Amino acid sequence: MDKSNFRLILVTIALCTTKGDNNEKNATCLYGKYGDPFILKCINNTNSTSWDGPSSQSLTVFGETPYAHDDEIVPELPNAENLLLVGDFSAGEYNLMVINLTHNEEGYYKCNAIRGKIPYEFRYFLRIKVPPKKLTTNGRNGILIGKAGEEMHITCNVERGVPENETMISLYFKGNVIKKTFAEMLIYSFVPRKVNNRDIFKCAVENLLLDSPLEETIRLKVLYQPSVRFDKNEYNFSVYEGTDFSITCFSDSNQVTTEILWEANDTIIEKQIQHLEHLPLNIANIQQHHEGKYTCVAKNHLGIGKKSIYITVECCQVKIETTNATVIVIISVILIVTIFLGVLIFLARDDLSVDNQMYQSRDDTADNETTVHRHIGAEIQDNRMDLSGGSASYGCVNAQGNSALNYAEIIFTPGPSESRCVVHGKENMTIYSDVVLPVASVAVH
């Protein structure tokens, strides 16, 4: 047989203890894959080498049935055709090879060698590698039930196979490994919150003998008592008397909410026991006696959740109904007033000189003749002109009053009209329209 045709297997060697009836022997544990060739090595440069191996006829694991001496296999062995001695025979090297590893070759092996005058003994325990199997979790049908705020445990169990230290269990959450072990059981402890409800964990077992990892998922079902919220973010409300008020209470719980109700000043006013998760509070035509604290209470088998609001009732709301036309009129009036005030402010600026004397013109001297821009004679008292006892026709103001003031005032006594006078300001500074005065006895301030 061409020895080069045999594929050698790299094996994991671990120190183990194997117990027989009344004796104890230490052996190096060797593991091979079923159906693969496997080589058990002894020392070289020996004068003599012999191999003992397992036998189905032995009553103990240490049967020590003769298998070979130097380069010869014992032909009486039932599996003699599945055994071969390999190595450099010329150098005294005789290794025992299992051509096709089966359960018949599993068991205890011993090599006895003599080098010079020194005896050597090597013990092995050969086992067939077995992949892990039967991954289980403590979830029932993949669901693990717990309560918010109370410790929970996730467990993953596996039959690790052979060798045991080549099997690793990992626990994943959201794609990340949160715990791993080479033991046959993984335990992960934590305290859940209600936000962990429906979280999914995954147990995975990895081994080189597996084509793909063994996997089991666990979905959490976290039970928690109700928590209450409203459809409005406020908790203190001011409401006008005579208006309507509405707010809705929502309950979030697991298991379901069994009862939800509204209390007004600690008295139940609305109640729902049909496993609904929301309950509105509607108050039509609210009055002063509706003022106070309102509390929404939700219940399930685990406990109670509640939250309160406070309603203050304001008296006498003034209702103003507006239409599009009303809005347009209001805006127009505001614009007109703004423009008018702007003109007045511009004309009344401090840096403009104000001509606050009064002028008159007459139209009684001739049909088509007008005496224009005659100053009204007066004695000036601030910006007031007194024409008492004087002529209003041809007098002239001798001195101007306070030019910082932007007005002039005429005071006159009504009488029979002898002529028609027009009183106005200077041409380019006139603000008011001309005034037609009946001239008689006239006093000017």
Q: Could you say which DSSP state residue 204 is in?
A: E
Look up residue 299 and give its two tokens: 């219940």
pTM beyond 0.85? no
SS3 391: coil
Asked whether 423 and 362 are in contact (CB, 8 A), the reply is no
**Measured on CA atoms in the order 281, 285, 290, 291, is the torsion positive or negative?**
positive
- pLDDT given for residue 2 in this prediction: 38
Instruction: Report the candidate in 263, 252, 195, 254 with the shortest Cα–Cα distance to residue 223.
Output: 254
For residue 259, what are the β-bridge partners?
299
- pLDDT given for residue 266 in this prediction: 83
**Measured on CA atoms in the order 380, 384, 387, 389, is the torsion positive or negative?**
negative
- pLDDT given for residue 57 in this prediction: 58
In whole angstroms, give the CA distance from residue 94 to residue 417: 159
Q: Could you say which DSSP state residue 233 is in?
A: S
In this structure, the number of other CB atoms found within 10 A of the CB of residue 346 comes to: 9
- pLDDT given for residue 353 in this prediction: 47
Asked whether 17 and 61 are in contact (CB, 8 A), the reply is no
- pLDDT given for residue 348 in this prediction: 66
- pLDDT given for residue 64 in this prediction: 77
pLDDT tens, position by position, 3-52? 333 333 333 333 454 443 333 458 899 999 999 999 999 999 999 999 99
Residue 80 CA: distances (Å) to CA of 44, 54, 99, 128:
23, 12, 10, 19
- pLDDT given for residue 322 in this prediction: 56
Instruction: Report the candidate in 386, 375, 368 with the shortest Cα–Cα distance to residue 424.
Output: 375
In whole angstroms, give the CA distance from residue 265 to residue 400: 78
- Which regions in the chain score pLDDT beneath 50? 1-15, 17-24, 59-60, 352-356, 359-407, 417-424, 426-437, 439-445
- pLDDT given for residue 385 in this prediction: 45
